[in-house]
Amino acid sequence: MTNWNVVGKVSDFAMGSAKAIDLNGETICLVRNKNGFHAISDACSHGAVSLSEGSVTDEGIECFLHGSEFNLQTGEPKTPPATSAVDVFAVQVDGDGDNAVVSVRI
Ligand code: FES
């Protein structure tokens, strides 16, 4: 069963940043970019390193180890060497401005 889990306020996450968060036994990578908030599995599907240590782009996140970029909407790798998608989780923002509450469904 999945539940919404509060992960913080909008102001807790800098624009263009990624943060690893442990939720219900899973580590997710919470990303804030110009398109909003996104949550994907933190483990790269190629080498299982932390995606939250990679670089956030306008459309994805690039793994720091070998450079695969993952689509934040689908979890699919856009570039090699990764060939498998990572899990994607729904994100909801309740409220307005910096005090709005960010939740992830997992
Ligand atoms: S470990 Fe992420 S691309 Fe290789």
Q: Which pLDDT tens digits describe the chain residue by residue (106 residues)?
A: 689 999 999 999 999 999 999 998 999 999 999 999 999 999 999 998 999 999 999 889 999 999 999 999 999 999 999 999 999 999 999 999 999 999 999 9
Domains of the chain: total? 1
| Atom in ligand 1 nearest the alpha carbon of residue 49 | 1
Query: d(Cα 24, Cα 39) in Å, to the nearest integer?
Result: 14
Cα(49) to ligand 1 centroid in Å equals: 7
Cα(71) to ligand 1 centroid in Å equals: 14
pTM for the full predicted model = 0.94
Q: Which residues contact 55 (CB under 8 A, 6 or more apart)?
A: 61, 62, 64
The answer to whether the CB of 66 is under 6 A from ligand 1 is yes
Q: Residue 43 is part of a domain; what is its CATH number?
A: 2.102.10.10
Q: Domain range for residue 60? A: 4-105
Cα(22) to ligand 1 centroid in Å equals: 21
